[in-house]
Amino acid sequence: MLRQPLAASPVARGEDAGAGTIAIETTATETAGAGRPAEPGPPTGRTLLIVNRRARNGAEQAEAAIAALAGAGLDVHPYDPPEEMGCAEAVTTGLAQGERLGGFDRVVIGGGDGTLNGAIPGLRRAGLPFGIMPLGTANDLARSLGIPFDLEGAARVIATAAPRPVDLGEVNGHCFFNVASIGFSAELAGELKAEAKKHFGTLGYAVAALGLLRRARPFSAWLAHDGGEQRVRTIQVSVGNGRHYGGGMTVAEDARPDDGVLHVYSLELRHWWQLVALLPWLRRGTQGQWREVRAFRTTDLVLRTRKPRPVNTDGELTTHTPAHFRVHPAALRVFAPPGETGT
């Protein structure tokens, strides 16, 4: 249920909040133009918070997230959705229930990259800027945007930073923030169960990857983009909208989540052990320097395979090949440090 404003919060009481906080007692006449009263909107700083308690740190950090946001001067209203409700629906339902309180001017999602991916349809419908409380396993979107991983730091960004545009990638109608991939990463996502992610974190990725790596075999794919088509033998094709994925791997060293393009690479390796040697380059985003790696930018890509293969978007299997990728520039607005790109 939707909680009332924290009684002890100076923002909720409407008192002089002092430096670092946001007062919300704003009258319509303060924003009126030429003697005409402005349409009243939600008070500044009124925040809908949705925490995925099934995320790795969600259940244990939910109250800490509320306290951090309130401590940063925001008027926080958590909505705790039923367990069977998806994050996009939770955003829509929480905003609808909040109308009786005068509405919200921002949405904050507490969770990891899968939670944020699931929230995309609701955020697009809402049209409000959103903030991130990083409570997941990898938190790659927060990393790409330069958002601190500690809750107090993330809350300060949400309270003080101006919203900045962020792109969305799309594959077969499914949007994503970070990366979509076919091949090794998608198979890894299928093998890495939710409980392993929750309990073992990044270690869970490494253990599952080692078990899968020696079984990886190249497959044929056709990449159609920018007026041409190439046939490749590859163990993985990754299409990046953001910068980071997989707990700190980098799509390309110059990739940004707001650059308006997709960064694509294909790992055309012959032997599984070459992927181990390639790992330092994958961490830095310089894998395109290898002659066995095809890398390019585009805004539209169609990828075909001989048989349907699963597509992993932000850590979840959501569709399969044939896959049509495109980019939606500046599709959403996010509270993040200006111009920051995490390393």
All domains of the chain in start order, with CATH: 10-161 (3.40.50.10330), 174-330 (2.60.200.40)
Alpha helices in 50-137 (DSSP H): 58-71, 87-98, 113-126
- From the list 316, 227, 212, 305, the residue with the least C-alpha distance to 266 is 305
pLDDT band at 60 (very low <50, low <70, confident <90, very high): confident
- Which residues, 6+ apart, have CB-to-CB distance to 210 below 8 Å? none
- From the list 124, 120, 98, 119, the residue with the least C-alpha distance to 41 is 98
- Provide the token pair at 87: 């994050």
If you count them, how many residues does the chain have?
Answer: 343
- Provide the token pair at 272: 């599984």
CA–CA distance, 210 with 198 (Å, rounded to integer): 18
* Section 38-67 average pLDDT: 78
* Section 8-18 average pLDDT: 35
- Provide the token pair at 269: 């390796």
Strand ranges for 235-322 from DSSP E: 236-240, 244-245, 249-250, 262-267, 293-298, 300-305, 310-313, 316-320
* Section 209-215 average pLDDT: 61
CA–CA distance, 315 with 322 (Å, rounded to integer): 19
Residue 226 gets the label, from left (phi > 0), alpha (psi -120 to 50) or beta, of left
Weakest mean pLDDT among 48-57, 157-166, 183-192, 307-316: 183-192
Residue 213 CB neighbour total at 10 angstroms: 15
Q: What is the pLDDT of residue 286?
A: 97
b/e 297-333 (16+ beta carbons within 10 angstroms → b):
bbeebebbbeeebbbbbbbbebbbbebbbebbeebbb
* Section 288-298 average pLDDT: 97
The pTM of the full predicted model, rounded to 2 decimals, is: 0.81
CA–CA distance, 106 with 331 (Å, rounded to integer): 16
pLDDT band at 272 (very low <50, low <70, confident <90, very high): confident
Element (H, E) at 77: strand 75-78
User: Residue type at 226?
Assistant: D
pLDDT tens-digit series, residues 119-166: 999 999 999 999 999 998 889 999 999 999 999 999 999 999 999 999
Q: Which residues pair with 328 in a beta bridge?
A: 168
Q: What is the pLDDT of residue 41?
A: 56
CB 287 within 8 A of CB 281: yes
pLDDT tens-digit series, residues 213-255: 666 789 999 999 999 999 999 999 999 999 999 888 999 999 9
**SS3 at position 204:** helix
